[in-house]
Amino acid sequence: MLGAGTLAAAALGGSVLGAGDASAATPATRTGPATAAPVTERRARAVVVGTGFGGGVTALRLARAGVSTLVLERGRRWRTGPNATTFCRFATMDNRSAWLTDHPVVGGGNQTWTPYTGVLEPVVGNGMTAMCGAAVGGGSVMYHGMTLQPTRADFARSIPVAAGLYSELDLWAYPTVARMLGVSTIPSDILASDPYKSSRLFQQVAPQAGLTPFKVPLPVDWSYVRGELTGRYEPTYTTSDIAFGVNNGGKQSIDVTYLAQAEATGRVEVAPLHVVRDLALDANRRWVLSVDRIDTGGVVREQIRVTADAVFLNAGSPGTTRLLVKSRAKNLVPDLPDAIGTRWGNNGDRIWAWINPTGDAGTLQGGPACVGGADPGSPIPLNIIHAGSPVQSPGATALTVVGFGVVDGAGTWAYDAGQDDAVLTWPTGTDAALQALITARMRAIAAAGGGMMMDTNAGAPSTWHALGGVPMGDAVDLTGRVLGHKGLYVLDGARIPGSTGACNPSMTIAALAEHSMATIVRQDVGRVF
């Protein structure tokens, strides 16, 4: 039973948490140009690197301000709709699940395949692996959609340098994001349906474990879930099989909200399968990006040199940090702040499997992750979320239960010349105090609801919520401007040092980007670029 439970829990890893913004920047080894054609030159007023929560907001606000903008994204565009077969499923996992590897990156298994520009990439560091999305729309394409706003106190504890921004974020930036994404909680009739027995079981047990239950806000059009319940659509929400994207549509991800509106202005060009390799500053103080246009097998089809007046880095914490660490180490951008590559964190992520609870968890576990439990008395802020499991092992029931909380940004990135890349180091025990509290809550859940809890990250720590590396206050100002460098901005999770107030980061990344872009449009557009 333990072996089966462990296998199930491992398979759930990719289905539980929201990946960070897509990393449009990847220093991976080139497969090689198809021809020896010269480098193509392009000129742009503004370039946005990455299309996740920071990039989508940035592109739309630049477009609305009248700025012609080139958006570079390493991943491909994935179009979906009712009964689509756009994304692979856990039971039939294939190369659409993984970024340019010949094997699965979540869930194990012995299958191999031809490398493809799939949706997930593990960035392996010393002591921690960061899971990154790769798609137009960034991590919003394959995350569960937990759109949580931290409290004022928890925000200030995670990001003290930005505590003074919270009133404005709360007044208009967070609400703007919620409106743009169409956020709502699971309707009562859907929660009462058979596939959501496991969610109701968690709700019942949580108070006995000292947790206050709550519904998780999600960017979902619930009519699609109802369509699955009535047999109109093939199950995907109601089986929680959404790790690699939702085939039925109805997920209001960045590509179909912010980016779609940006493209509709006619001022934004989104360029998929464009991998940014290096960022430099030329003699005229213009920004120069070295870009590979690749095919879906990773072969470089064109090398492009893009010269821009302004660059907005939104490649996700690992992608943005790696680009800037490389630029500093290779002196491509002189005098970058010393703090680049520091104060990185894992948002306190931990994935647990609740094996064989006493109550009825049903045969299917619906998603997305729609219910959670708060621990208001915890000395370190934390939240526990239940997420459905798309696969089960014979003879065992496994529920996925996730914890995250406030943690220090103690991780660092250092340049490795042999790889021409930056490598993460996460000091052992950095989040030990938080994890002890999460462990206690998980054990309390099992004590109240039967069965046992298994820490699926115990042997291989990982995070789906990478944060930091270019921290506010030390590397960028509160508006995301890189210190000492006009026209260079960081508006993604890289500027948030370590955690986002015991919540998954998507809502806060987007709200901060909205807040920063309002200032940039008012102060920098027409002056700096």
**CB hemisphere CA count around 296 (13 angstroms):** 12
Encode pLDDT of 390-426 as tens digits. 988 888 999 999 999 999 999 999 999 999 999 999 9
What is the reported pLDDT for 15?
Answer: 33
What is the reported pLDDT for 291?
Answer: 98
What is the reported pLDDT for 513?
Answer: 99
Q: Which among 218, 130, 229, 152 has a CA at the least distance from the CA of 181?
A: 218
Q: Residue 346 pLDDT > 60, yes or no? A: yes
Longest dimension (CA), the chain: 68
pLDDT band at 36 (very low <50, low <70, confident <90, very high): low
pTM (2 d.p.): 0.95
Q: Residue 297 pLDDT > 80, yes or no? A: yes
Encode pLDDT of 276-296 as tens digits. 999 999 999 999 999 999 999
What is the reported pLDDT for 393?
Answer: 83
* Span 53-71, average pLDDT: 98
* Span 129-146, average pLDDT: 96
Give the DSSP H or E segment for 54.
helix 53-64
What is the reported pLDDT for 107?
Answer: 79
- The Cα 54–Cα 493 span in angstroms is 8
* Span 484-503, average pLDDT: 98
Q: Residue 45 pLDDT > 70, yes or no? A: yes
- The rounded percent of the chain whose pLDDT value lies above 90 is 90
What is the reported pLDDT for 341?
Answer: 98
CA angle 125, 131, 133 (to 5 degrees): 135
Q: Residue 3 pLDDT > 90, yes or no? A: no
Encode pLDDT of 238-273 as tens digits. 999 999 999 999 999 999 999 999 999 999 999 999
Q: Residue 18 pLDDT > 50, yes or no? A: no
For residue 116, what are the contacts with CB-CB under 8 A and spacing of at least 6?
A: 95, 96, 98, 100, 296, 297
Encode pLDDT of 178-194 as tens digits. 999 999 999 999 999 99
Q: Following DSSP, what letter does each residue of 460-502 receive, concatenated?
A: S-EESS-EEES-BTTTB-TT-BBTT-TTEEE-SGGGS-S-STT
What is the reported pLDDT for 404?
Answer: 97
What is the reported pLDDT for 394?
Answer: 85
Per-residue 3-state assignment (H helix, E strand, C coil) for 248-296: CCCECCHHHCHHHHHHHCCCEEEECCEEEEEEEECCCCCEEEEEEEECC
- The rounded percent of the chain whose pLDDT value lies above 70 is 93
What is the reported pLDDT for 245?
Answer: 95
pLDDT band at 1 (very low <50, low <70, confident <90, very high): very low
Which backbone phi and psi does 126 adopt, to 5 degrees?
A: -85, 105
What is the reported pLDDT for 399?
Answer: 96
For residue 245, what are the contacts with CB-CB under 8 A and spacing of at least 6?
A: 78, 80, 86, 87, 119, 135, 141, 142, 251
What is the reported pLDDT for 323?
Answer: 98
- The Cα 527–Cα 307 span in angstroms is 18
- The Cα 207–Cα 211 span in angstroms is 5
What is the reported pLDDT for 29?
Answer: 41
What is the reported pLDDT for 403?
Answer: 98
Average pLDDT, the chain: 93
Q: Following DSSP, what letter does each residue of 222-239 receive, concatenated?
A: HHHHHHHHTTSS-SSTTT
Encode pLDDT of 140-161 as tens digits. 999 999 999 999 999 999 999 9
